[in-house]
Amino acid sequence: MFRLHYELISPYSSIMYTDFFTKLLILHMARMGEGYGEWYRSLCASDLPQSYLVRAFGYTSRMLSEKQFRERTKVELREIGKQVASLAADRDIYRKLETEVIPGNPRLQNARSAFLVMVRGAYADAMAVRVLRLLDADSTGLSLRRVLAQIAEYPQLLHDKVGDREFANECAALERAAANLQAVIDPHFAPHERTPAALAAVHRAVDEALDTTISTLETYYWVVAEGHLDLDPSYAEDPLAVFEFAWVERRPV
């Protein structure tokens, strides 16, 4: 059974990928009952391109029962959670760099370092792109806004947990945060565009979008899974330990 489904959605399959086969996949999937959740988790853990999975499973969510949709959405929200946790950790490390490492070293604080200029620009641009990807309602990959649009098709999931107005407001807040971030996403190339002051608007928009994403994701994972997602930054070791020794040691001539 798994092999059949894999062949239907794999881009490497000899079977032509068409809307017909997508619908056939969904119909067959809807009859799997209890086995659906385990099969879906196996697919998410596979090396299939995510765009093919989302296209197949998101083709017509109304063909799924509420239980099947809930199981699928739990898995998808957990995958989004992994990416959001990574974003939160990267933001935490960057803030530590700017508030603990650089101010504590006058040679870094007062120097016009091309390396720090590059780090600041790369952080701002990468964070903006990664957050926007999760807030792209039309994305064929993981997208919190797309998941919320699908949850709206199952209003019984929100019953006694989130009211219609609250749901609409939270969807609008995500859309607004994405629009604000999109407005300041121009790439930063020149050194004068990569100073903390020049990047302040990008950082504010990234923080607003990421904070809104975290809050919304935690709420709707609780709604769907009745559980908690831990999105707080955590590290196996001190991320700043790399600054406790010289990166380049001078050798005697």
pLDDT in tens, the chain (253 residues): 333 343 334 333 333 334 444 444 444 444 444 444 454 555 555 554 544 444 444 444 457 888 999 999 999 999 999 999 999 999 999 999 999 999 988 888 776 788 898 999 999 999 999 999 999 999 888 999 999 999 999 999 998 899 999 999 999 999 999 999 999 987 777 888 888 888 999 999 999 999 999 999 999 999 999 999 999 999 999 999 998 888 887 777 6
Q: Phi and psi at residue 153, in whole multiples of 5°? A: -80, -10
Specify the pLDDT at position 105: 86
Asked if 144 and 178 touch (Cβ cutoff 8 Å), the reply is no
Specify the pLDDT at position 112: 78
SS3 199: coil
Asked if 225 and 74 touch (Cβ cutoff 8 Å), the reply is yes
Specify the pLDDT at position 182: 93
Per the listing, tokens 């020794």 go with 245
Does the pTM of the predicted model rise above 0.85? no
* Region of residue 160 (phi > 0: left; psi between -120 and 50: alpha; otherwise: beta): left
The closest alpha carbon to 59, from 6, 29, 23, belongs to 23
Specify the pLDDT at position 186: 79
Specify the pLDDT at position 5: 40
Amino acid identity of residue 222, one-letter, is: W
